[in-house]
Amino acid sequence: MIELQDIHKTFKRKGQTIEALKGVNLRVEKGDIYGVIGYSGAGKSTLIRMVNYLEQPTKGRVLVEGEALDQFSPAQLRKAKKKIGMIFQHFNLLESKTVYDNIAIPLVLLKQDKKRIRERVTELLQFIGLSDKADSYPKELSGGQKQRVGIARALASNPSILLCDEATSALDPQTTKSILDLLKKINEQYHITILIITHEMAVIQQICNKVAVMEKGEIIEQGEVLEVFGNPQHPTTESFVRTVIQTSVPDSVLRTLRPNGAGRLFKLKFVGGNASEPIVDSLIRKYNVSVNILFANMSEIQSTTLGTLILQIQGEDKDIFRAAEFLGTRGVEIQELRDFQSLPKAGDAKDEVKQRTFKEAAV
Ligand SMILES: Nc1ncnc2c1ncn2[C@@H]1O[C@H](COP(=O)(O)OP(=O)(O)OP(=O)(O)O)[C@@H](O)[C@H]1O
């Protein structure tokens, strides 16, 4: 659907060369809501602007629906761009035009007749829930309403792709949620593929099925959202994940712990169905161990539960390891933490853990 192949982009400014993109490869499939996240200056805007050719790559290729944009004549490019709508952080509405006229702009440019324009704009106003604002001007609207108008304008020419450039960054959390819900509806109802750039992991968590993490012009990690959130590989990805999922033990809990050398510490990670199984209960009943839950957190991503649990298991080592082995058979990812000091704390780059073959230890 959208393919970026080895994209490089260099800007020259005041005798300086800025490498905004350094060999980016990205593949967005039809129906994806693909999120690209990164800190300021990572190259996100430059990347998204490549897709509708607002920027051209210094090197590399952009393919949209299998066709390379650099092979197109200007007329073909104009036609290809019709398939791509875009929304912006600051909405980019024309202040001197009404809501109705703003939404109609792409259709007027396509020289559609007035009746067709009226039908389409009326339909879109209904879809975004602003039928009563048709004659209002942008300055009379809230930020969320302005973004709804921006979305309707982007959808006017029936695109198959919607690009979102920090579309919710200027909005409060509640309005952000309603705009993200609207984007999800657009994806599901109109089968529009969505590419979002953002610096907020909550946006990715709420609606994306895939994510790429950018840093200094490169994609440092990418994949299914559930996979990346559940098992981040790069420290930058991990710090983004930690903005929405708490996998660390709060200081208030750490302060109350009384390390006495008894028992062992384990960090458990659950994904999906096994999150609802009463495994701690089974553990106590099946094995001769006692269990102290030090920390628990559940998050929902892509309608799937992702859980983190830190347990102190006490008993004889052989029973503890049998219990740990049992957890492994329940589809729970389990790691032994060396001691209380190595409990993951907020700000740690990576949990310091000791891997163990529980099967061997349990014998
Ligand atoms: N037109 C331009 N001329 C010169 N340098 C540019 C231009 N556009 C972007 N850059 C530089 O390229 C790098 C990447 O910028 P880009 O805007 O793509 O990052 P970003 O991740 O979108 O950041 P932000 O979230 O702050 O917008 C930055 O160093 C930026 O200064």
Q: How confident is the model at residue 25 (pLDDT cuts 50, 70, 90)?
A: very high
Check: CB of residue 62 under 8 Å from CB of residue 7: yes
Q: How confident is the model at residue 121 (pLDDT cuts 50, 70, 90)?
A: very high
pLDDT tens-digit readout, 81-118: 889 999 999 999 999 999 999 999 999 998 999 999 99
Which of 44, 56, 90 has most ligand 1 atoms within 8 Å of CB, for mutation? 44
Determine the Cα–Cα distance for residues 128 and 322; give it in Å rounded to an integer. Answer: 56
Residue 91 is predicted with a pLDDT of 92
Q: Is 36 a pocket residue for ligand 1 (Cβ < 6 Å)?
A: no
Closest atom of ligand 1 to CA, residue 197? 22
Q: Give the strand pairing for 33-38 and 193-198.
A: parallel
The residue whose CA is least distant from atom 24 of ligand 1 is 40
Q: How confident is the model at residue 277 (pLDDT cuts 50, 70, 90)?
A: low
The structure tokens listed for 41 are: 């200056």
Lowest mean pLDDT among 89-98, 200-209, 287-296: 287-296
Angle at 199 between CA 223 and CA 248, to 5 degrees: 75
| Tokens 């979102």 sit on residue | 164
Among 316, 294, 320, 298, which Cα is nearest to 307's? 298
The larger pLDDT score, comparing residue 124 to residue 350, is at 124
What distance in angstroms lies between residue 236's CA and the mean position of ligand 1's atoms? Answer: 19
Lowest mean pLDDT among 49-53, 220-224, 303-307: 303-307
Residue 348 is predicted with a pLDDT of 45
Q: How confident is the model at residue 326 (pLDDT cuts 50, 70, 90)?
A: confident
Asked if residue 147 has pLDDT above 70, the reply is yes
Asked if residue 359 has pLDDT above 50, the reply is no
The residue whose CA is least distant from atom 11 of ligand 1 is 20
Q: Is 247 helix (H, G, I), strand (E, B) or coil?
A: coil
Residue 22 is predicted with a pLDDT of 97
Q: Nearest 5°: phi and psi at 213? A: -105, 125
Check: CB of residue 86 under 8 Å from CB of residue 37: no
Residue 340 is predicted with a pLDDT of 57
What distance in angstroms lies between residue 42's CA and the mean position of ligand 1's atoms? Answer: 7
Q: Sign (positive/negative) of CA torsion 212, 214, 219, 221?
A: negative
pLDDT tens-digit readout, 154-168: 999 999 999 999 999
Domain spanning 251-362: which CATH class is it, in words?
A: alpha beta
131: Cβ–Cβ under 8 A, 6 or more apart, which residues? Answer: 122, 125
Closest atom of ligand 1 to CA, residue 13? 4
Determine the Cα–Cα distance for residues 249 and 351; give it in Å rounded to an integer. Answer: 11
The residue whose CA is least distant from atom 17 of ligand 1 is 45
Determine the Cα–Cα distance for residues 84 and 185; give it in Å rounded to an integer. Answer: 17
Determine the Cα–Cα distance for residues 64 and 66; give it in Å rounded to an integer. Answer: 5
Do 2-241 and 251-362 fold alike per CATH? Answer: no
Q: Give the strand pairing for 210-215 and 218-224.
A: antiparallel
Domain spanning 2-241: which CATH class is it, in words?
A: alpha beta
Q: Would you list the domain boundaries of the chain?
A: 2-241, 251-362
The larger pLDDT score, comparing residue 120 to residue 348, is at 120
The larger pLDDT score, comparing residue 27 to residue 264, is at 27
Q: Give the strand pairing for 84-88 and 161-165.
A: parallel
The structure tokens listed for 258 are: 């009384």
Segment 107-130 mean pLDDT:
95
Which of 14, 18, 24, 56 has most ligand 1 atoms within 8 Å of CB, for mutation? 18
Q: Give the strand pairing for 333-337 and 67-68.
A: unpaired
| Tokens 């949620």 sit on residue | 177
Q: Sign (positive/negative) of CA torsion 319, 320, 321, 323?
A: positive
Residue 254 is predicted with a pLDDT of 66
Q: Is 295 helix (H, G, I), strand (E, B) or coil?
A: strand
Q: Is 40 a pocket residue for ligand 1 (Cβ < 6 Å)?
A: yes
Q: What is the mean pLDDT of the chain?
A: 87
Determine the Cα–Cα distance for residues 32 and 187; give it in Å rounded to an integer. Answer: 8
Q: How confident is the model at residue 2 (pLDDT cuts 50, 70, 90)?
A: very high
